[in-house]
């Protein structure tokens, strides 16, 4: 497995990570037992994946427990990232749904440490920027946790470039996580140049368009009860029908390369910058193996130009989040 470093930091991980969100209930039905999810995680480690992504909000809390149990026997071989920032406590819950007050950050991290069965969190992200708490205070709280040995690296998720700069001035940011893929390229406009300048790594989540870029989701797909995609504008029947043109273009390109659509989507991301590490999520070991196969694909400059041309022909329809969730991004 190829390794990559996040910018100027000393944090090195496998070139492909594993997003664990759907390995527990909370964002959609789980398609396997907890033991099956643990088998997938440990199988991923055996195949060279060292980077695993979870969050307090996934479940909430349950996902951290599953990840902690699954990776406990191989703790010394892996890098575990988790996130704080949603108001998950019963008392004093802000109406915004977010809470990055320093005291709450520190309190919530204690819970994450226990659930993950670790002494130190390798990479701790702010899940969403809290408009009610200055980012300098957030970075300062994480700096304290780093000095106490409870956290190793600081990250931000869905933060805008000015916020990244302000946070980085207080506590160096190791990685920024945001959505980025062949059908969501907005990060190229302001975020990637900022990260390159500051020496910060980038972790694209939903690198396969929440499954759409694999070609397995059509306008006839029926989402099961509880699957959050069912309420996302981009997954309306009309949007799926319109966006199929882009999916088919990628599939045709992949066929020419003797690869799957998922592998092309991941290889494209890996080719953008040497400090980009996508975290496709899956609950199946065969998909883990397929995703790893993307690291063996070498896309030439001509390939990249062709992919850019192909994907620019189709305007993706539908917002990626409902309005209330979209407001929490790019702050």
At 1, is the secondary structure helix, strand, or coil?
Answer: coil
131 with 96: CB under 8 angstroms?
yes
Contact partners, residue 6, CB within 8 Å, separation at least 6: 12, 13, 153, 174, 175, 200, 201, 275, 277
Task: Say if residue 94 is exposed, middle or buried (CB neighbours under 10 Å; 0-12, 13-18, 19+).
Answer: middle
Residue of 58, 104, 180, 205 with catalytic role? 58
The secondary structure element, H or E, covering residue 121 is: strand 121-126
Whether 104 sits among the annotated catalytic residues: the reply is: no
The secondary structure element, H or E, covering residue 18 is: strand 18-19
Query: What is the DSSP code (8-state) at residue 173?
Result: E
173 with 156: CB under 8 angstroms?
yes
55 with 318: CB under 8 angstroms?
no
280 with 19: CB under 8 angstroms?
yes
200 with 167: CB under 8 angstroms?
no
Query: How many angstroms separate the CA atoms of 32 and 47, rounded?
Result: 20
Give the gyration radius of the chain's Cα atoms: 19
> What torsion do the CA atoms of 320, 326, 329, 331 make, to the nearest 10 degrees?
140
> Which residues are tagged catalytic?
58
């Amino acid at each position: 497995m190829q390794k990559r470093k996040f910018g100027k930091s000393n944090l090195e991980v496998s070139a492909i990570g594993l997003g664990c969100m759907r390995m527990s209930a909370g964002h959609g039905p789980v398609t396997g037992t907890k033991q099956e999810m643990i088998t997938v995680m440990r199988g991923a480690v055996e195949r060279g994946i060292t980077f695993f992504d979870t969050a307090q909000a996934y479940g909430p809390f349950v996902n951290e427990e599953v990840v902690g149990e699954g990776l406990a026997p191989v703790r010394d071989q892996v890098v575990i990232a988790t996130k704080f920032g949603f108001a998950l406590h019963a008392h004093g819950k802000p109406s915004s749904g977010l809470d990055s007050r320093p005291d709450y950050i520190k309190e919530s991290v204690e819970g994450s440490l226990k659930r993950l069965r670790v002494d130190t969190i390798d990479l701790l992200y702010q899940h969403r920027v809290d408009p009610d708490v200055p980012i300098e205070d957030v970075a300062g709280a994480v700096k304290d946790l780093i000095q106490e040995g409870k956290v190793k690296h600081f990250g931000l998720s869905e933060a805008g470039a000015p916020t990244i700069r302000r946070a980085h001035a207080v506590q160096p940011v190791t990685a920024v996580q945001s959505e980025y893929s062949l059908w969501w390229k907005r990060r190229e406009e302001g975020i990637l140049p900022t990260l390159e300048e500051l020496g910060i790594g980038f972790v694209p989540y939903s690198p396969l368009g929440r499954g759409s870029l694999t070609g397995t989701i059509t306008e006839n797909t029926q989402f099961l009860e509880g699957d959050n995609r069912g309420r996302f504008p981009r997954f309306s029947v009309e949007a799926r029908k319109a966006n199929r043109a882009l999916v088919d273009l990628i599939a045709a390109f992949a066929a020419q390369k003797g690869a799957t659509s998922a592998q092309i989507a991941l290889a494209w991301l890996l080719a953008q910058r040497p400090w980009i590490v996508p975290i496709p999520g899956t609950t199946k070991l065969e998909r883990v193996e397929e995703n790893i196969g993307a690291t063996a694909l070498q896309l030439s400059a001509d390939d990249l130009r062709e992919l850019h041309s192909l994907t620019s022909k189709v305007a993706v329809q539908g917002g990626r989040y409902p309005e209330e969730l979209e407001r929490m991004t790019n702050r």
